Amino acid sequence: MQVVDVGCGTGLLAREALAIVCADGAQGSLVGVDPSPGMMAQVHAKGPLPASARFVEGRAERLPLPDASADFLCMGYALRHIDDLEPAFAEFLRVLRPGGRLLMLEITRPESRVGLAALRLYMRFVVPLLARVVARRSDTPRLYRYYWDTVEACVTPAEVLGALRGTGFTAAQRHVELRIFSEYTAVAPAR
């Protein structure tokens, strides 16, 4: 299985995907794509990777990969960093083989006012305070506040599903855990 991890960052999802596609001697491979060379450098700092893994600089809206080259494309918690969903999803569709599967994980704003207020309080104040105490750096809380700002500004699940269907994906659906963790899945149709 050929896997593409878009917005791979420091490679947490990529490492898990590799463990699956290379299990029991399978000949799977992975390409991690991220716009930040600094983030991808952290992938290699966490230990050796199989030779079947490579990491390239690129953006979701313009993947540096050939047409129909992947069986599975994933994106972990980077959807909120995409400016325009339809061009990115069209790229995902271009890179996937017919029948290829898409998985995107994202934190979604709670729909209830109480849930939204609780998560906002937790992400904007509690987590930054804990991060500052643990990391002992004064700039650490700013990162977590930015993280919440991107979650709060992310497009709605209905917009994500609409864009997936609008670009040609089939079986687009959303599964939710704990009312905030969204798992979007879809399938590239037969061409």
Contact call for residues 69 and 95 (beta carbons, < 8 A): yes
CA dist 1 and 77 (Å) reads 22
Please tell me which residue, 124 or 13, carries the higher pLDDT value: 13
Contact call for residues 132 and 105 (beta carbons, < 8 A): no
pLDDT, one tens digit per residue, over 67-124 is 999 999 999 999 988 989 999 999 999 999 999 999 999 988 888 888 888 888 888 8
Residue 36 has pLDDT above 90, yes or no: yes
Structure tokens at 147: 């993280």
Query: Measuring CA to CA, which residue among 188, 166, 159 is closest to residue 93?
Result: 188
Name the percent of the chain in helix, strand, coil, to the closest 5.
45, 25, 30
Contact call for residues 46 and 10 (beta carbons, < 8 A): yes
Query: Measuring CA to CA, which residue among 145, 176, 166 is closest to residue 84?
Result: 166
Mean pLDDT of the chain: 90
